[in-house]
Chains A and B, each alone.
Chain A
Amino acid sequence: MALHDDLLEQAHHLATRERTKPRQASLRRAVSTAYYAIFHLLITETVCKWKIGAQRSQLARIFEHARMNSASERVLKQGTQSSGESPNVVAHLKRVATAFRRLYDNRQSADYDTSTQWSRTDVVELVDLAQGAFASMKAIRHEPIVHDYLLSLFVRERR
């Protein structure tokens, strides 16, 4: 299995262990792991398009969390009318971008904000959000609009 698939499975495991009283540490790691699952999914989807296989791991290291988040925010700000793409494809892309943006923010809270109390319901729902993004990405991975999105994850926006 690929790293992103393993991470998603691990996020689910962390979210559902300790049946009666989940530890905050498990819930926090589940949120963080769900974020890293989608982070690595998007990187893998991008670098697999690079023809020279030996250079892919090097290319994977240039991705920055904040830039990927900004690119995802831009997808959501753009609206759906102008692209000329099928509404279904755009809906899937927005689901991916929404999941990335929400998990990015929740991961920051989970890793750095000790005042936040997590509940299993919340965390299970966030892992489901990541799982939904995986399914959406699988459905649209060959669409041109997705290629543009993947490129925007690591190329600086022109001003």
Chain B
Amino acid sequence: MYVPRGVAERKQLAAAIARVSRKLGTDVIRLRYSVQENWSGEPSIYFRVVLTDQASKPPRLHKVAKKVEAIIEEQINPLHSWGLFSYYNFRSKSEQDDLKEPAWA
């Protein structure tokens, strides 16, 4: 049975993500993630990105989100280096303060 590197080497993956999270800039307040199967059963990584309120407003949001994704894809390369399909979800600090979801804290 094929086990992707991102599942077999969780500590190394965590270290790589910790390194990249320091390069995301001041628009990003927090980066959280979980490794799990997607809806098709493929091993995947779900990134949850909390942005500043200012960075979450259109039209800036799209630019910031693209930049965050580009940095993570370039530095981590989830699919080709870790065997994981990547997903990105974003929310602002105010939204997280309101929703209070532990997975985003």
Contact = CB atoms under 8 A, between A and B. Distances in A.
Interface in A9-40: none
A45 B62 CA distance: 26
A93 to B, nearest CB: 15
A101 B39 CA distance: 10
Interface string B75-87: 0000110000101
Given A128-B61, A128-B62, A104 B39 contact: yes
- Which secondary structure dominates where chain B touches chain A? mixed
A76 interface: yes
Given A77-B79, A119-B95, A119-B99, A124 B61 contact: yes
B9 interface: no
A114 interface: no
Given A69-B40, A101-B85, A128-B62, A121 B91 contact: yes
Interface residues of B, number: 24
8 residue pairs, one from A and one from B, having the closest CB atoms: A119-B91, A119-B95, A108-B39, A121-B56, A128-B62, A121-B91, A121-B92, A117-B99
Given A73-B85, A108-B39, 20 more contacts: A77-B79, A79-B80, A105-B39, A105-B44, A105-B87, A109-B39, A117-B99, A117-B101, A119-B92, A119-B99, A120-B95, A121-B56, A121-B90, A121-B92, A121-B95, A122-B91, A125-B88, A128-B58, A128-B61, A128-B65
Interface of B: 38-40, 42, 44, 51, 56, 58, 61-62, 65, 79-80, 85, 87-92, 95-96, 99, 101
